[in-house]
Amino acid sequence: MAEAKHIPAGAQPGVPTPTPTQSVPNWVPRSSVAVSLTGMVVAGYLTWEHFTGASTFACPQNGAIDCVKVTTSSYSTIAGVPVALLGLFFFAALALLCLPAAWRSRRPLLRSLRLSAASAGVLLVLYLIWAELFRINAICLWCTAIHILTIALFTIVTIAHALNGPPRNHQP
């Protein structure tokens, strides 16, 4: 005897029912996009300062707080690419990955990419904080803002990932 398939209430036989989309609380897309856009502004400013010679920084240059010393150090580039520019690309990519449509996506790759990118950002921030504290011996207030925004974005993405559970594959 053939086993009967369960058809959800309101569904018609032979017509596929849509699978549920990923859902996160409303605050997640809003806050993650806001943090990403703010990061783009700050990283954009740091990138502009990098390419214009860092002579107009709105930052003190005395002892422990010295943005010019930090942003012109050997740690201000990775493989010849300014860290500020990497930050700008990072926040732009995360802004796209954190759009409401991206949060609703059922694609596991998108979820993994968002979490991986946020994790990579935090790892780079930890390295840069170490460099500021133990190698450069100065702190950049603008860089600190980037560090805080990166950690905030990582926290939002990680919480959303945990709330949303494991990625669901699309079932035909």
Q: Which residues pair with 77 in a beta bridge?
A: 82
List the end-to-end C-alpha distance of the chain, in Å, as a whole number: 25
pLDDT attached to residue 106 = 86
**Least confident interval from 18-22, 28-32, 50-54, 70-74:** 18-22
Rounded distance between C-alpha atoms, residue 152 and residue 19, angstroms: 31
Rounded distance between C-alpha atoms, residue 111 and residue 51, angstroms: 34
Q: What is the mean pLDDT of the chain?
A: 87
Nearest CA-CA partner of 144 in 70, 72, 88, 89: 70
Determine the CATH number of domain 27-164: 1.20.1440.130
Answer whether residue 162 shows pLDDT above 80.
yes
Give the dihedral sign, CA 46/47/49/54: positive
* Paired sense of beta strands 81-82 and 65-66, if any: unpaired
pLDDT attached to residue 18 = 43
pLDDT above 70 coverage of the chain, percent: 82
* Contact predicate 94/118, CB 8 Å: yes
pLDDT attached to residue 2 = 52
Domain limits of the chain? 27-164
Dump pLDDT digits (tens) for 78-134.
Answer: 999 999 999 999 999 999 999 999 999 989 999 999 999 999 999 999 999 999 999
